[in-house]
Amino acid sequence: MRTALEKRVLDLLLLHGDGLSSTEFLTRLRPRVSQPTLWRILDSLRAQGALIREGKARATRYHARKRTDLAVLRSRRMHESVARRLLREPALRVQALERLDKLRAANPHGRRYHDRWNELLQGPLVDVLRVMTEPSEVADDLRKESPMSALVLPAERQRIFDSTRAD
């Protein structure tokens, strides 16, 4: 059974799809709570499996599991990483198209996603970047069958997995 304060914290997280830091919690929670009280609440919610914690120390952000599960969050972070590379290295689009051909052969049932990725990769860069980084259900679905995930560098993938944890 969750306390009223735990429910308020979860409700606040559900309103903020990109998560909140402890400082942001302290400014938004009404009535105000102390930082030690907030930490106890966050620890309790993490122990219940209701939160995902991302980052370390002052860079830590908390996400409600109802809104963003761990795999979706990791996928978005990996696509954000590739999006930054894509801005610097536009030739990655060619690699993504080659990867898309392999995905089509491996999973013919993902055709509608593959067709959408093909449209995006042939179109303006801004559209590709938007879908790669957008926190929406449509973008989450597209990222599940994305040719971009293979473009994440191994060290960056490890960093993302290390920084996002549900503990």
Domains in the chain: ranges and CATH? 4-64 (1.10.10.10), 70-165 (no CATH)
Q: What is the pLDDT of residue 58?
A: 81
Lookup result for tokens 């308020």: 8
What was the pLDDT predicted at 68? 55
Cβ atoms of 99 and 85 closer than 8 Å: no
**Tens-digit pLDDT profile for residues 91-106:** 899 999 999 999 999 9
Phi, psi of 83 (to 5 degrees): -60, -40
Q: Give the rounded percent of residues in the chain with a pLDDT score beyond 70.
A: 95
Average pLDDT, stretch 156-163?
88
Q: In 3-state terms, what secondary structure has residue 164?
A: strand
How much helix, strand and coil, in percent to the nearest 5, is found in the chain? 70, 5, 25
The pLDDT value recorded for residue 66 is 63
Residue 61 near residue 163 (C-beta atoms within 8 A): no
**What are the pLDDT digits (tens) for 106-119?**
999 999 999 999 99
Q: How confident is the model over 58-87, as a mean pLDDT?
A: 85
Strand ordering across the sheet containing 164-165: 61-64, 51-54, 164-165
Buried b (16+ CB within 10 A) or exposed e, 107-143: eeebeebbebbbebbeeeeeebbebbbeeeeebbebb
pTM of the model: 0.67
Residue 78 burial (CB < 10 Å; 0-12/13-18/19+)? buried
| Locus of tokens 């801004």 | 126
